[in-house]
Amino acid sequence: DNGKYHYEIDTDKELYISEEIFSFKKNVNRLEEIDELLKNVKVADLAVGSGAFPLGMLNEIVKARETLTAYMSIGMNNFQKKSFIAYGRKL
């Protein structure tokens, strides 16, 4: 070994990955739509009680939106990701 790295490219996997990315990018608008719906969810807890139910719902919505953010930011450079997260959407 002379210190250089050797990589073998599996063209089948490369083609598959590129098709998946293309397919995914077509669905980003759908992800944004889902994110918008989650942003506007209203939860009513008529029994009130300890507040565990609304807090649990809030946690689930935040987790779902964080996951959507990760998928929607694929293909963005670091500056675009930071801008998207900081200014593009509100939790």
**Could you list the pLDDT tens digit for every one of the 91 residues in the chain?**
444 544 455 555 555 555 555 566 666 677 888 888 888 888 888 887 888 888 888 898 988 888 888 777 776 777 877 777 676 654 4
What is the phi/psi pair of residue 54, to 5°?
-65, -35
Is the pTM higher than 0.85? The answer reads no
Instruction: Give the span between the Cα atoms of 55 and 45, in whole angstroms.
Output: 10
Domain-by-domain residue ranges, the chain? 11-88
